[in-house]
Structure 1
Amino acid sequence: MTLRTPAPSRHTPLNYPEEGATRRHPLPGGYHHLHEATYLGHGRAVLESAGRAVTTFRMHRRAGVRVRASAPEAAPGVLVECALGLGPARLWAPCRVVWSEYDSARIGFAYGTLGGHPQRGEESFVVEMRPDGAVWFTMTAFSRPGRWYTRLAAPVVPVFQRLYARHCGRTLRRLAHRDG
């Protein structure tokens, strides 16, 4: 049985008030915070290849997440649904892109959770080339339970989020070097 929430629209409100807070530091209080960085390699080709994989949701898909997006590339207002779970017990988690960035040293985006998502909060996926040419992928998030079942699982959710962030980093490293 696939669990679905009503289809979100560009006007569906986020289910948390701190829109865009993954761009600022410190992250808002009252949430679990995640900040996980993975070294991807060196140079512009790695930055561009990894940035393309992140902003086209290719990294998510290669990491094993089912993704439906209202556009092929991340931009503010794009609706994204990610499938959590396995087989017929799949839960679609609705989000909306709240910011994106495409510049010479930094490529990425963040999405925020919409009503029906198991969590409340925001998650960003950023590829950055530092002044020494090193390219890093960083996932930053703040979240708290949004449904009864995530409140029950609250002690283990941060562990799974960190494991997922590390898995995304390893996946992106492979993608960046395959395409770069």
Structure 2
Amino acid sequence: MSASRPLPYPRAGATRDAEILSDPPRGFRARERRAAIGSGEAHWELARRQVLSWGVKELAGFGVLTDSRVDGRVSPGDPAELRYPVLGMTLREPVQVVWVEDARRRAGFGYGTMPGHPLRGEEAFLLEWGEDDVVRLTVRSFSRPAGLWRLLALPLRLAQRGMTRRYLRRLARSMRDGSAGDRSARDGSARDGSGG
């Protein structure tokens, strides 16, 4: 992995706030989906650990390769390679963590795509533990296809929507059945989602 590099898209960090939904950069599409994934402090703590350690991506089937984790947690500037099996091959997506938030009732992070990723833009996972005791996950992004991937714009958008639903479902399921484990206790060693 290489060190932190400039991001190849405008308005880095914009996924932190919902304002991006009404005012995305020109040529980019912004999306947000939110769902309740549990309730109470136990679910909050488990979900927080999952989100802040790439667990939400891993639960959705991605491998995460990074050598920059500190105590298993994401940090601003951390580069990573996300790996996802598609049609017997492994899609490799270089990204970089742009922002991290870890407060009493709000936690999450956003990452930006790097050259070689099929999309240009940013994706964020933001948890909130409401006064109603419900833990909610928001997945927010703005993106557009990169390079020759523009030829597959519609399939990419559909895949992105499906993956957003998968993030929400898988994290909610892990809260219900307790199968998420404690990824933050693992060392920062690379995990390869290439299926082999």
Name the residue aligned to 1:66. 63
Could you tell me how far 1:62 is from its partner in structure 2? 2.0
Where 2:97 maps in the other structure, the secondary structure is: strand
Closer, same or farther: CA 160–167 of 1 in aligned 2, 3 Å: same
Given residue 16 of structure 2, which amino acid in structure 1 is its aligned partner? R
Where 1:154 maps in the other structure, the secondary structure is: helix
Name the residue aligned to 1:4. none
The answer to whether 1:57 aligns with 2:54 is yes
Superposed, 1:164-175 pairs within 5 Å as: 164-175=163-174
The answer to whether 1:13 aligns with 2:10 is no
The answer to whether 1:22 aligns with 2:7 is no
Write out per-residue CA displacement over residues 19-38 of structure 1, whole angstroms, 9 at most, x where no aligned residue. 10001332123211120112
Aligned residues of 2:4 and 2:96 also touching (Cα < 8 A): no
The answer to whether 1:44 aligns with 2:36 is no
In the superposition, the TM-score normalised over structure 1's length comes to 0.88
Where 2:166 maps in the other structure, the secondary structure is: helix
Aligned residues of 1:13 and 1:115 also touching (Cα < 8 A): no
Aligned residues of 1:66 and 1:82 also touching (Cα < 8 A): yes
Could you tell me how far 1:87 is from its partner in structure 2? 6.5
Aligned residues of 2:36 and 2:135 also touching (Cα < 8 A): yes
Given residue 37 of structure 1, which amino acid in structure 2 is its aligned partner? R
- d(CA) in 2 for partners of 1:144, 1:131: 35
Where 1:170 maps in the other structure, the secondary structure is: helix
Name the residue aligned to 1:83. 83
Range that drifts further, 76-85 or 115-124: 76-85
Given residue 76 of structure 1, which amino acid in structure 2 is its aligned partner? P
- d(CA) in 2 for partners of 1:56, 1:39: 20
In the superposition, the TM-score normalised over structure 2's length comes to 0.81
Superposed, 1:92-111 pairs within 5 Å as: 92-111=92-111
- d(CA) in 2 for partners of 1:163, 1:117: 18
Could you tell me how far 1:12 is from its partner in structure 2? 2.1
Aligned residues of 1:128 and 1:136 also touching (Cα < 8 A): yes
Can you give the 5+ residue segments of structure 1 that lack an aligned partner in the other structure? Answer: 1-6
Could you say what the CA RMSD is over the residues aligned between the two structures, in angstroms? 1.7
Query: Which 4+ stretches in 1 moved above 6 angstroms?
Result: none
Name the % identity. Answer: 37
